[in-house]
Amino acid sequence: MVSSLNAAVDDNSSVTNVELVVTVDDLMSSSSDNASVDVTTNISGVVDKRDDEADQCMWFHFVVNTVLIGALCMFGLFGNTLSLLVLQRDRRNRVAVFLLQSLATADNLLLCVVFVQMSVAFGLLPVVGRIDVQKAIKPYLIKYINPVGYMVQSCTIWITVLLAVNRYVAICRPFVASLWLSMWRTRLKVRGA
């Protein structure tokens, strides 16, 4: 029994394999030593195969979440921040500028949430070997960050709708535009979004 445990530890040097060997040996305590060694070999081979598949998935998640989504978030943050700076100089159409600034701010918040959750927590932490940190923060991400992300995404959608309605009224109904498109009403609508 002890020799089979030592052989499994020497072959694979993985704590998971040792735990599986002990569990199988405990269940098969009435079997002979040869049977438990065969079961040990089979189980350790399955665990090694799963570890290789997990490594491949980890690198796939790193490339997609950290490299691609992270790069898109950085470009989006740069573009939205540049839009905010440029829109501060425009004084002609205050209502449309306010809506565009609100949309850029909501987009920046959404990109920050996505970057933290996808790129850092689910893409970068497993690659640098900090799965313990990922497992520790996962409940907080699910409980606090996900709802914030959904709220910001909803705000982004509704501000886009407000912007579309604003432009429709300004172009297709120009005689009532000054009444409907006041700055006071627009701020109330954005706060409601």
Confidence (pTM): 0.64
CA distance 59 to 127: 7
pLDDT band with cut points at 50, 70 and 90 for residue 164:
very high
User: Does residue 70 register a pLDDT over 80?
Assistant: yes
pLDDT at position 157 is 94
pLDDT band with cut points at 50, 70 and 90 for residue 102:
very high
pLDDT at position 17 is 44
CA distance 24 to 59: 31
Query: Which of 14-28, 52-66, 81-95, 131-145 is predicted with the least confidence, judged by mean pLDDT?
Result: 14-28
pLDDT at position 52 is 53
pLDDT at position 54 is 56
Q: What are the φ and ψ backbone dihedral angles of 93, each rounded to 5 degrees? A: -115, 90
